[in-house]
A and B are shown apart, each in its own frame.
Chain A
């Protein structure tokens, strides 16, 4: 008879201890303490649904969700088609494409703060190279980080720049798994390259497409460092994404219980994205 527990399981105990203290405990405490009002100094006071009722009326919280949605709408199309186009050009295993892939992948590897700083410099209103190029071409300079819509667009450019490499590699893996015969068959039937791609290859990439979409959504949705350094949520609240708003509520106003309530909502949305991603992966 097989034992129900053997001692080999004990090897997992240190890892599980860290998992418990620094991942599960925070998740559970969020759900419990979101029903309390707490400033870290005096003991937590039970307020029932109070935090959540206030949340419903907090226009800046809903603003942060709306900012995230706007960011997603701007970023996801770019994060889909740019990596796809690059992958189509670079999916063959040649030295040339391997070298180019590394260039596009590098921004993903860079420390977020350093990469964002470099982006910020490029986008500087009066000293940035980008506005200089725009002016030289005869257009008026763009106030990248000074006006709401350009600032949102700047964040979305930054995210696309940072994520392209990862998503491109996902597409490349997908493209390489499409058997060459499918292309040949389509060509024999008289389809041109463009038609072959859209009617044969692209539908076969269905799972890859979903994986890329969910990954892009997850990254945009929870980006913190990029927004923190590039705009700090400004101008005004125009780029105040949810994680940044939670951070400010907790660490500049010390409304911990209320920040927990917002974290609950944020966590539930993250879980929803996770469940969809896992479904896609298991297929």
Chain B
């Protein structure tokens, strides 16, 4: 009996939670005529690729895709480098104010782009990075969650590994590249996956930094075309949405464990 109620509850919730996604993907395959007719159809009656063709042809999706990929890949490489090095420095280095700096990193977990939107814009502008893809990369490469994860990871590397290398006469630089970096493969994998997804999904920074169409990222373009005069047809918008969630879906399915456990530990996004 209890089991039956549980199962019914789960099925109802699953249907509710998947409804927006299902209805949007189904609608993205409807023709212009079908999507604007009443009553709405649950399954596309005459499946058509009209929306997808429009999204790719009229909306210049390939340019947005190129921009998004460039930003996501370059930012991810820099994020991984500075986080692995930074985590190592902050966890294993000795210096005055070490505890204070580590606390500071924890505090930054709560300062997201939304909270400091305006001053961030002013600084990016001062650096001459408005309407420049680097303006989407550089402000985003320090990610509090990434840094925090890196510090925690580095703390677990035994000091003896580093000491014995030092006794053998290795320089700090050699110790990092020959010992620490190879030991950090799981960390590097996690940071890459997270960072790529964050940059791919990001909306706030592109909205602040870019207003030239040729520099739009996918998410920014998707938001802008909805507000345009005359309006973009819904099947095009939904085809656009569907295409942009596919990469994150693939990454999510491949690395599910990372996300569901990792984020719970870190707690917050960015």
Contact = CB atoms under 8 A, between A and B. Distances in A.
Interface of A: 2-16, 18-19, 21-23, 25-27, 29-30, 33, 40, 82, 85-86, 89-90, 100-115, 117-122, 124, 126-130, 132, 161, 164-166, 169-170, 173, 193, 211, 215, 218-219, 222-225, 228-229, 232, 243, 246-247, 250-251, 256, 259-260, 263, 266-267, 270-271, 273-274, 277-278, 281
Interface in B84-133: 85-90, 92-96, 101, 104-112, 114-123, 125
- The SS class assigned to the A binding surface is helix
Contacts of A86: 10, 13
A232 B24 CA distance: 21
Nearest to B175: A8
Contact of A218 (B9, B17, B121, B268): B268
14 contacts: A2-B94, A4-B95, A4-B96, A5-B95, A8-B94, A12-B85, A105-B259, A117-B237, A118-B21, A127-B35, A169-B264, A173-B264, A225-B204, A266-B115
B164 interface: no
Interface of B: 2, 6, 9-10, 13-14, 17-21, 23-24, 27, 35-36, 38-40, 42, 81-83, 85-90, 92-96, 101, 104-112, 114-123, 125, 138-142, 144, 147, 172, 176, 197, 200-201, 203-204, 207-208, 218-220, 222-223, 226-227, 234, 237-238, 241, 244-245, 248-249, 252-253, 256, 259-261, 263-264, 267-268
A243 to B, nearest CB: 5
B233 to A, nearest CB: 11
A10 to B, nearest CB: 7
Contacts of A223: 114
Contacts of B222: 113-114, 117
Given A6-B94, A222-B112, A169 B123 contact: no
Classify the interface of chain B: helix, strand, loop or mixed: helix
Contacts of B20: 115, 118-119, 121-122, 161
Contact of A246 (B81, B118, B139): B118
Contacts of B204: 224-225
Given A102-B256, A103-B14, A263-B119, A16 B244 contact: no
B93 A30 contact: no
Given A6-B94, A114-B219, A222-B112, A260 B118 contact: yes
